[in-house]
Amino acid sequence: MADISPIKVTHLHGPALHAPVDLVAFVSFGDPTKDPIFKSADQALGGVLADVARSESFEGKSGQSITVHTHGRIPARRVIVIGGGPRNEFANPNVRDLAATAAQIANKSGAVSVGFLLPQLGANREAGLVQMTAEGVHLGTYKFGRYMTGEEHKRPTSLKTFGVMTDLKGKKPTATQTKAFEAAVARGTTIAAAINHARNLINEPAAVVTPTALATEAQTIAKKHKGTVTTTILDVKKCTELGMGMFLAVGQGSDQEPRFIHMTYKPAKKPKKRICFIGKGVTFDSGGYSLKPSQSMEDMKVDMSGAAAVISAMDAIATIGSDYEIHAVAACCENLVSGRAYKLGDVLTSMDGTTVEINNTDAEGRLTLGDAITYVRTKIQPDEMFDFATLTGACMVALGPYTAGVMSDHESLLRGWMAMAERTGEDMWRLPLNVRLREQLKSQVADMRNTGDRFGGAITAGLFLKTFAKDTPWVHVDIAGPASLSSARPSQPKGGSGFAVATIVEYATR
């Protein structure tokens, strides 16, 4: 399955309202009667725009849009106005949802071509807005339709070209401007493809996306970037030799063999630093003998979203190129029940020698990540490492379903990471790694136990991981909420979101 729609994002110039397209789209920042672009469009259409805005209570708020038929007054058959919210609160990533909305309305109305007037927010923001527009088009037209058998799901969508107009008057761009435009579209398209690829991996059933399937994914990406990306896959034998007692215990109850994935991107020049991205790769989480109730288990194919993000991001990083040496690591396995499964009361020995008493087999993610972190810290020895994990329901209780919890005791690394998240528009919020909660992880029989009590569950999971990260600069991102969504927005349909891919790629390539 292709990861992006065949829609071409092009640069359109000439007067925006007279673009030779099926549908013209532009943004109104707040009250349309005060928006100069809205006013000139309304004039060209003989006042119908204002009429429709009034009758549909369109106030230019984000999430609102109106569609108007032009009846031959301009070349386009339809004009849509999309609410942008207050102009001074508008951040570049917001344009993703607006472009996605334009593409979706175009497809619904059978339009083949769109002319989208980029929000006029100053030359210094143009490249960023163009990139986010390209992302929005491809993210907003994403569908996971593989298992839909109805004819309507097979039909190709109508939209073929999404023209972006960077200037209202349609001034011809300079060669430099054209180059910047094309680079921004290429970047946005590459990132959206990686996000959609991660979405596919998350949305596929656990019966398809097994640990070995994820290993094959990694190898396919390495093959595509022969010369810069290599992949090493460690099987059970190799992981046993390395002493990954926690990771292997989680996977031992399943007939699906665990796989430990390690991808490496090497730049042509001597790298400035070595960065490692680690993803939780539990391809299905039943909870093990601490069995989840059916409702909580229903969506647990998504428990490999961290792995999907780091593996897919490598594809985009290698396409865009980076000055850094980048590693992606994922310890992949299934958490099931069987005669071989690990049990409550078991004491596991981790790769770094720490012994862990299991008081909950459903806290499996931290066990797989603990060994992955030790592997990274000792074998890769990065300057910085980040992990992405659908780790705790407690993080969703704390922050809601859209925001990831970020934990670190390395202030400058954390600030650098949060700055990138701000740029990509991925919702992340810091939680404190309060060491007083470590008390909860004390065991009577081993160095630690794997879960604490009900309070501060996202943080005790973070503190557990910190034990293995030791002094290597490290940031933990709990993506349990945003990895998969039960309510859609224009650029994110329900289901796997591909959360974290954008910020990982941004961090690795800027």
Could you list the residues that contact Zn ion (CB under 5 A)?
Answer: 282, 285, 303, 365
- Kindly give the pairing relationship between strand 65-69 and strand 78-83: antiparallel
Q: Which residue of this chain has its Cβ atom nearest to ligand BES in the complex? A: 393
* Residues in binding contact with ligand BES, number by CB under 6 A: 15
Catalytic residue set: 292, 366
Task: Give whichever of 13 and 366 is closer to ligand BES, judged by the CB atom.
Answer: 366
- 429 forms bridges with which residues in the sheet? 405
- Pick from 394, 437, 477, 502 the residue near ligand BES by CB under 6 A: 394
Is residue 467 a contact point for ligand BES (CB under 6 A)?
A: no
Task: Give whichever of 194 and 336 is closer to Zn ion, judged by the CB atom.
Answer: 336
Q: How far is the CB of 409 from ligand BES (least distance, A)?
A: 21
Q: Which helix (H) or strand (E) holds 11?
A: strand 8-12
Q: How far is the CB of 233 from ligand BES (least distance, A)?
A: 23
| Among the residue ranges 14-22, 227-235, 370-378, 384-392, the one whose residues contact ligand BES (CB under 6 A) | 384-392
Question: Residue 394 binds which one of ligand BES, Mn ion, Zn ion, none, with CB within 5 to 8 A depending on kind?
Answer: ligand BES
The whole-angstrom separation of Cα 367 and Cα 124 is 46
- Kindly give the pairing relationship between strand 347-349 and strand 325-335: unpaired
Helices 365-375 & 457-469, crossing angle to 10 degrees?
20
Is residue 463 a contact point for ligand BES (CB under 6 A)?
A: no
Question: Residue 451 binds which one of ligand BES, Mn ion, Zn ion, none, with CB within 5 to 8 A depending on kind?
Answer: ligand BES
473: tokens are 């600069």
Is residue 392 a contact point for ligand BES (CB under 6 A)?
A: yes
Is residue 365 a contact point for ligand BES (CB under 6 A)?
A: yes
- Pick from 42, 126, 315, 364 the residue near ligand BES by CB under 6 A: 364
| Among the residue ranges 60-68, 74-82, 359-367, 490-498, the one whose residues contact ligand BES (CB under 6 A) | 359-367
* 418 Rama sector, left if φ>0, alpha if ψ -120 to 50, beta otherwise: alpha
3-state secondary structure at position 437: helix
* Residues 366, 368, 374, 379, CA torsion sign: negative
Is residue 482 a contact point for ligand BES (CB under 6 A)?
A: no
Is residue 303 a contact point for ligand BES (CB under 6 A)?
A: yes
Q: Which residues contact 431 (CB under 8 A, 6 or more apart)?
A: 395, 398, 399, 405, 406, 407, 458, 459, 462, 478
- Pick from 173, 393, 422, 429 the residue near ligand BES by CB under 6 A: 393
Give exposure, 394-422, as e/b (b: 16+ Cβ within 10 Å): bbbebbeebbbbbbbbbeebbeebbebbe
Q: Which residues contact 340 (CB under 8 A, 6 or more apart)?
A: 252, 253
Q: How far is the CB of 334 from ligand BES (least distance, A)?
A: 12
Q: How far is the CB of 293 from ligand BES (least distance, A)?
A: 11
Q: How far is the CB of 481 from ligand BES (least distance, A)?
A: 7
- CA nearest to 479, candidates 414, 408, 387, 388: 388
Is residue 371 a contact point for ligand BES (CB under 6 A)?
A: no
Q: Which residues contact 232 (CB under 8 A, 6 or more apart)?
A: 261, 262, 263, 264
- Pick from 363, 414, 469, 500 the residue near ligand BES by CB under 6 A: 363
Is residue 362 a contact point for ligand BES (CB under 6 A)?
A: yes
Cβ contact 198:144 at 8 Å: no
Question: Residue 506 binds which one of Zn ion, ligand BES, Mn ion, none, with CB within 5 to 8 A depending on kind?
Answer: none
Per CB under 6 A, contacts with ligand BES among 209-228 are none
Question: What is the 8-class DSSP label of residue 71?
Answer: T
What totals of helices (H) and strands (E) does the chain contain, helices first?
A: 15, 19
Q: How far is the CB of 392 from Mn ion (least distance, A)?
A: 9
3-state secondary structure at position 443: coil
Single-letter residue type at 137: V
Q: How far is the CB of 391 from ligand BES (least distance, A)?
A: 6
Interface contacts to Mn ion, rule CB under 5 A? 285, 362, 364
Phi, psi for 37 (deg, rounded to 5): -70, -40
Q: How many CB atoms lie within 10 A of CB 230?
A: 15
Task: Give whichever of 334 and 506 is closer to ligand BES, judged by the CB atom.
Answer: 334
| Among the residue ranges 24-32, 186-194, 356-364, 427-435, the one whose residues contact ligand BES (CB under 6 A) | 356-364
Task: Give whichever of 113 and 392 is closer to ligand BES, judged by the CB atom.
Answer: 392
- 245 forms bridges with which residues in the sheet? none
| Among the residue ranges 140-148, 203-211, 247-255, 361-369, the one whose residues contact ligand BES (CB under 6 A) | 361-369
Q: How far is the CB of 282 from Zn ion (least distance, A)?
A: 5
Q: How far is the CB of 358 from ligand BES (least distance, A)?
A: 11
Is residue 285 a contact point for ligand BES (CB under 6 A)?
A: yes
Question: Residue 239 binds which one of Mn ion, Zn ion, ligand BES, none, with CB within 5 to 8 A depending on kind?
Answer: none
Q: Which helix (H) or strand (E) holds 136?
A: helix 126-140
The whole-angstrom separation of Cα 297 and Cα 289 is 13
Per CB under 6 A, residues contacting ligand BES are 285, 303, 360, 362-365, 390-394, 451, 457, 480
